[in-house]
Amino acid sequence: MFNWTKLEGPSQSTGCAQVHNTLGASPYPSTSKTTEVEHRNKFRHHSVVDARLTIKGDLESDGDILLKGKAIGNITCKLLIIDADASIEGGIVAEEVVIRGKASGKINANRVRLERTANVDSEICHRIFSSEVGALIKGALRLNEEH
């Protein structure tokens, strides 16, 4: 499905973890030519933390995680989506992170996207960062220039 390389440790220059994508494509669907069926098929293989669930401890996955509940601990995965009513208290290491809910703790990812409902209190180490109007950010943004 995806050909992702293993996550590496912190960078000496910035303190940000190196996250590599050997595939080169974003997990975001292209809005120009992606059909609704292709979009659903692309994201159907992910683990879900249900809205009624609170997880305490570290969570690791070789795939994608959709967080609808609460996580207290660190999360490592390819793509992490934190839903609007969800929250995480802990570190994140991922290829890509989409935040719609609350996050506190250090975030290390190649791509970070904050949607308008996001409330983030974190140090964010990223290569690509975007934020919608309305997202709340408290913390620091650190560009990770190393590939």
Question: From first to last of its 147 residues, what are the pLDDT tens digits of the chain?
Answer: 333 333 444 444 456 655 544 333 444 444 444 545 454 455 556 799 999 999 999 999 999 999 999 999 999 999 999 999 999 999 999 999 999 999 999 999 999 999 999 999 999 999 999 999 999 999 999 998 874
Statement: the pTM of the whole predicted model exceeds 0.75: no
Nearest Cα residue to 16 out of 137, 139, 107: 107
Q: How far does CA 102 lie from the centroid of its chain?
A: 12
pLDDT in tens, 79-112: 999 999 999 999 999 999 999 999 999 999 999 9
Maximum distance among all Cα pairs of the chain, rounded to whole angstroms: 43
Tokens 């996955």, located at residue: 61
Give the β-pairing of 54-56 and 92-99. unpaired
Q: End-to-end alpha-carbon separation of the chain, Å? A: 22
**Residue 94, strand partner residues:** 77, 109
Neighbours of 13 (CB within 10 A): 9
Q: Which amino acid is at 39?
A: H
